[in-house]
Amino acid sequence: MSTEKNLIKFTKKGIYCPQGNFYLDPWYPVDFAIISHGHADHARWGMKHYLCTDDSKAILQHRLGVDINIESLPYNKAISVNGVKVSFHPAGHVIGSAQIRLEYKGYVVVFTGDYKTQPDFITKPFESIKCNTFITESTFGLPIYHWKKEATLQQDLHHWVKTNQSNNRTSVFLGYSLGKAQRLMSLLEGCDAIYVHRAIHNLNQAISGSGIQLPETQLWSVDLDKKTLQNKIIIAPPAILGSRMLKRVPNPATAICSGWMQIRGNRRWQAVDAGFAVSDHADWNGLIDAVKASEAEQVYVTHGSQAVFSKYLNEIGIKANELITEYGDEALAKAEIKENKVDV
């Protein structure tokens, strides 16, 4: 096989580009890491040098340390890294998220990281990229997953808040501090005053400090009396379930916000009152559309339902292989719990 077609290798440390001598979202310390987005399963501590999007830089510094060796690029601007052309393109997943495009001697590889093809109110929309090799996630790579349009989802959330208020209840939405929280803020903007957990508040400050405008929120702290929070909106990480802080909320109604809620609902989260299928990942049709639009000769399917999705792609004539990685919701959930442990 020609050198350009060996543009990526799958190693114990992660996806490696030998020509450029760098890794894509590595899970163990390396000299040069190109990072797709700020979630803890993709952006890990210990790299000697980081490269990310301009919109992710403040997020990585907030989560990994202000003293990390980091540089950033705007979307769609290419640089050469040891002769490999590297550029970032919107992934539609969370603020700052990107697909990483590599080109060497005319051969193109696209590593999607995590992505969502359906537009929302806060992230830069997904951009289709043609390539020779396409590396796709498959978190919701089953035919049962189909997301509602953002405007419909917004109506559902607002209706739930209004119903809670009519019953004198405070609406508590649970979602990861990066991505889900900011998207919920955008969906709930204008419904009523929004209070956010300190972990989300601190991250919002880092994001806003980099020039990105976010909906207005207030810090949810232990100093707030119950009358202030009564019938309002709170957004917090799932780690607060069962915490003393949640018990201080006046008559709370809790809702977990996750793509898993489309089929698992309260069977998975018995302690909550409602579940909304709010996902920052592509649904079944979104995954298929992204793969087809890439026109790739070879597709690698990573974390999620990779066995089912890769089998389907092969059945419709697209060459696909499973790729085992250390990305995914389980790793992200553990990192979120660790990050928010002190604050709950």
Is 212 found in the same domain as 93? no
Is 192 found in the same domain as 217? yes
Single pTM value for the model:
0.93
Is 182 found in the same domain as 112? no
Last residue of a domain, one of 254, 276, 298: 276
Is 239 found in the same domain as 182? yes
Give the CATH number of the domain where residue 52 resides.
3.60.15.10
Give the CATH number of the domain where residue 193 resides.
3.40.50
Is 158 found in the same domain as 79? no
Is 294 found in the same domain as 268? no
- In whole angstroms, what is the distance from residue 231 CA to residue 295 CA? 50
Last residue of a domain, one of 245, 276, 307: 276
Half-sphere exposure of 319 (CA within 13 A, CB side): 6
Is 24 found in the same domain as 123? yes
Q: Return the bridge partners of 218, or none.
A: 195
Please give the pLDDT value at position 55. 97
Is 230 found in the same domain as 162? yes
Give the residue numbers spanning the domain of 61: 3-144+280-343
Is 161 found in the same domain as 265? yes
231 neighbors 168 (Cβ within 8 angstroms) = yes
Is 194 found in the same domain as 114? no
Please give the pLDDT value at position 1. 47
Is 170 found in the same domain as 128? no
Number of domains in the chain: 2
Digit-by-digit pLDDT tens for the chain (344 residues) are 466 678 999 999 999 999 999 999 999 999 999 999 999 999 999 999 999 999 999 999 999 999 999 999 999 999 999 999 999 999 999 999 999 999 999 999 999 999 999 999 999 999 999 999 999 999 999 999 999 999 999 999 999 999 999 999 999 999 999 999 999 999 999 999 999 999 999 999 999 998 999 999 999 998 888 889 999 999 999 999 888 899 899 999 999 999 988 886 544 556 789 999 999 999 999 999 999 999 999 999 998 899 999 999 999 999 999 988 878 765 555 555 555 554 44
Residue 97, Cβ neighbours under 10 Å: how many? 32
Is 205 found in the same domain as 94? no
Last residue of a domain, one of 225, 241, 276: 276
Residue indicated by tokens 């040069």: 32
Please give the pLDDT value at position 267. 47
